[in-house]
Structure 1
């Protein structure tokens, strides 16, 4: 592992993905159990002032670099989890470190703009370079937000506002709507619902929990809206050997969507929006086919429902395209696409027909963070300069092949190997065996994580290369033999 001072100067010099790979540690280095003594000590200190129930270990972010994370005890791990799929360029990418010292970022940080009212003079340019340049096909308008949850929350608000405007012939709220909403009465407070799916995850705010259904612990004790829960496909793998079964899954799920739209209509609780993930990442890496999503898009259009695609975890390149929904080749674009994580800032792209005309309806103090936008602008430049989407596509193809081979040689310990690009998962017979594997893998120097009931997920950065892939599968094979 490179010393702290040497690494600090090296960060300013390294340029390009191959140079980053050469500057990284040669491999994992495990000094203590994980969490180690220092991490445990820090957790005890933190527990006096902050909740720590979900803390796994403390990280030395000054020493972490590229695809390697270093913990408080000096343990160095190859990281294929990357802050829950949130690092596009790994740790301390030199180009991002340089941006972090720029005058624009410093002034944005210390005099943080309330973007809804007092944006920076260069904010529109930043939007253009960072976000418009990678906008989903057919969508150019964009709204920044703090995180994925707030992006989804405000996307749903945007859908409700549009849906009600259509009921009023395209007009904004009148005096009766404005007065009645203050006492939560009709027509200002309408009965409207959002369709989510079994196994979905869209965030943990009060509203989003009504469409989040990945784990009971997220939802228990929290009041929820009476919103429909539709079926989402549960495919068998390999796909080529189970096409008839999987096609039937698509048909059954689309029929369920139609049935629930009709049912909620009868309840006088119209479905105003459908929100869906391209891959149910937190819920267990469940996929839908292009045919399923085209069918879902058609249903939404037929009923005048806003179609929201939640790309918070899938957006940013890991699936082999900037947007996972590009793989569907839809006949018309989604109405809204939300994003965060690998795209550093939260927000959503939307169709021009959904533009909110009245001030303060989509609003909060920050409305995003210009420091994150500056970092994203540079990250997008690096991704294009270094061909990282193309690299993710080619490395991802090899990753899928190797994951299938690992399953075949696992003696029944692994099943349902699946993925797109380096965004991948595989199942264990039980959640307890999966959790045991994760702990063993971490002790061997591979930082990975679970999702759903029994799945192991992989979320490496875009600077993850064939060299890292080979080491990943060596560590996976070693860990499987220890189970």
Structure 2
């Protein structure tokens, strides 16, 4: 925060300048928060003192960034580095670097920044005594939860729980959230097979578990889908199928993968073919559920396969999956790590599906800035303590931050706003696709907020050129360009993005 105040006066010509008598962080945050309120009822910017457009002063990386990268390389692996950022000078929808470049950010830390850099509502939460206590007195929640932990959960994480899911197990990251959900699924299934929560473990189960053998370590599985991404820890990695580089050299469980529908676009031109493709995938999913040698305990699926190439399927397909899990008495886990918290024009992407019964578990992270899984069935609680346990079991500081994010989303009506902005942006991209059909192929994400993507034959070149014109944008899969703007992304930002994309396509 202090860094933000020190640098704010020299950030950008378009950014509000502060005198030497700089007000407190809280005062500045309150002023900015009040100024943003007008945007909720009109077309005013959510960040009134945000840059009016990107600023590109040097090549990216520039000399200051190169020096920072060289210094960092000595102590940290920088081979996956995208750009060096200066977060003190980043604001709203714009990310800055040490060289004075300020880019419109439609990648948003791999979809994990929800309401803008240096958001004033989050600044107020971050500087509160409650947050200070949570940071410096971080509890081991399973053993020593703070006195108001239930209140923090009920006013934050649980206030936006998916319909039918009224409990939460908090965790550290998206990968952790999925692994915890998998563990809950296995314990649930074995409890059923054993005869109920009150039936104790046999001596054989106890001794065989210590040797990683059945029945204590049962031959069960989690079914995922081709091109899926569920994380990089050992269990989650066994359900990840997006890229070989994630999995090479790592031992994995022998778990099944079903085909995910490969839809043809535009959807309205291939309705019959796409319906047949989805049915083929459902049929193969059911076959695997019935025949796989290690019976699946759960099906895990992303509403939109993000890292695997931004692959979509219809609501009918996901309703079909829910029907299969009910039919075969296995659990339905929806991985909303990337799709959750408003980006698709619903708070949770699976709300688009109109399910007759809710998922058994919904995992979350990224834009929530915390992690975990929601559930509603008490049988998903382990029958004994310490079975679903670690030192931290989440983080009250991050739960407090998510509560502030939720408050900001509600205050500015950002879910509805994102649905409208997404429609505007999609229509603009559709016009560009007509003009440059070789540049925008298989445009997808209509009706899914700003969760939009397309295929490009020169994807990596497009991403590189985007930085040169002041846009930070990301890719997924082998050739997809994916958009992951923040919930505070507005129509004037969409216009800036569309204009710069056309500049790239026309070059």
Sort the TM-score into its range (normalised by shorter chain): over 0.9
Q: Is 1:13 aligned to 2:40, yes or no? A: no
Aligned to 1:450: 475
Q: In the aligned structure 2, how far is the partner of 1:298 from the partner of 1:442? A: 45
Aligned to 1:248: 276
Aligned to 1:261: 289
Q: Deviations over 1:48-71 (max 9, x none)?
A: 111111112211101100000001
Aligned to 1:123: 149
Q: Deviations over 1:48-97 (max 9, x none)?
A: 11111111221110110000000121110000100000011010100100
- Answer whether contact 1:139 1:351 (CA < 8 A) is retained: yes
Q: In the aligned structure 2, how far is the partner of 1:21 from the partner of 1:465? A: 10
- Answer whether contact 1:148 1:312 (CA < 8 A) is retained: yes
- Answer whether contact 2:227 2:240 (CA < 8 A) is retained: yes
Q: Is 1:392 aligned to 2:418, yes or no? A: yes
Match of 1:216 among 220, 237, 244: 244
Aligned length: 476
Q: In the aligned structure 2, how far is the partner of 1:405 from the partner of 1:371? A: 44
* 1:20 aligned counterpart, secondary structure: coil
TM-score, with length taken from structure 2: 0.91
User: Aligned-residue CA RMSD in angstroms?
Assistant: 1.4
Aligned to 1:424: 452
Cα offset, 1:169, TM superposition: 1.1
Match of 2:74 among 29, 48, 55: 48
- Answer whether contact 1:162 1:354 (CA < 8 A) is retained: yes
Q: Deviations over 1:322-380 (max 9, x none)?
A: 00000000111110000001111001001223122311111111111111111111111
Aligned to 1:200: 228
Aligned to 1:481: 506
- Answer whether contact 2:32 2:47 (CA < 8 A) is retained: no
* 1:23 aligned counterpart, secondary structure: coil
- Answer whether contact 1:11 1:92 (CA < 8 A) is retained: no
- Answer whether contact 1:12 1:97 (CA < 8 A) is retained: no
Cα offset, 1:405, TM superposition: 1.2
Q: Is 1:238 aligned to 2:266, yes or no? A: yes
Match of 2:489 among 458, 464, 474: 464
- Answer whether contact 2:345 2:419 (CA < 8 A) is retained: yes
Aligned to 2:60: 34
Match of 1:71 among 70, 90, 97: 97
Match of 2:369 among 335, 341, 344: 344
Alpha-carbon distance change, 53 to 218 in structure 1, aligned in 2, over 3 angstroms? same
* 1:396 aligned counterpart, secondary structure: helix
Q: Is 1:111 aligned to 2:137, yes or no? A: yes
Cα offset, 1:475, TM superposition: 1.0
Alpha-carbon distance change, 72 to 3 in structure 1, aligned in 2, over 3 angstroms? farther
Q: In the aligned structure 1, how far is the partner of 2:301 from the partner of 2:149? A: 30
Aligned to 1:174: 201
Q: In the aligned structure 2, how far is the partner of 1:169 from the partner of 1:417? A: 50
Q: In the aligned structure 2, how far is the partner of 1:19 from the partner of 1:230? A: 44
Instruction: Give structure 2 stretches of 5+ with no counterpart.
Output: 1-11
* 1:223 aligned counterpart, secondary structure: coil
Aligned to 2:326: 301
Q: In the aligned structure 2, how far is the partner of 1:303 from the partner of 1:109? A: 44
Q: In the aligned structure 2, how far is the partner of 1:4 from the partner of 1:83? A: 27
- Answer whether contact 2:336 2:362 (CA < 8 A) is retained: yes
Q: Deviations over 1:397-433 (max 9, x none)?
A: 111111111111114222011111111101112xxx1
Alpha-carbon distance change, 12 to 62 in structure 1, aligned in 2, over 3 angstroms? farther
Match of 1:141 among 163, 167, 170: 167
- Answer whether contact 2:225 2:257 (CA < 8 A) is retained: yes
Structure-to-structure mapping, 1:370-389, within 5 angstroms: 370-389=396-415
Alpha-carbon distance change, 4 to 374 in structure 1, aligned in 2, over 3 angstroms? farther
Q: In the aligned structure 2, how far is the partner of 1:111 from the partner of 1:198? A: 42
Cα offset, 1:11, TM superposition: 4.0
- Answer whether contact 2:106 2:471 (CA < 8 A) is retained: yes
- Answer whether contact 1:35 1:56 (CA < 8 A) is retained: no
Instruction: Give structure 1 stretches of 5+ with no counterpart.
Output: none
Cα offset, 1:5, TM superposition: 5.0
Aligned to 2:465: 440
Match of 2:255 among 227, 231, 246: 227
Cα offset, 1:262, TM superposition: 2.1
Q: In the aligned structure 1, how far is the partner of 2:387 from the partner of 2:61? A: 45
Cα offset, 1:183, TM superposition: 1.5
Q: In the aligned structure 2, how far is the partner of 1:457 from the partner of 1:392? A: 16
- Answer whether contact 1:230 1:256 (CA < 8 A) is retained: yes
Q: In the aligned structure 1, how far is the partner of 2:18 from the partner of 2:172? A: 33
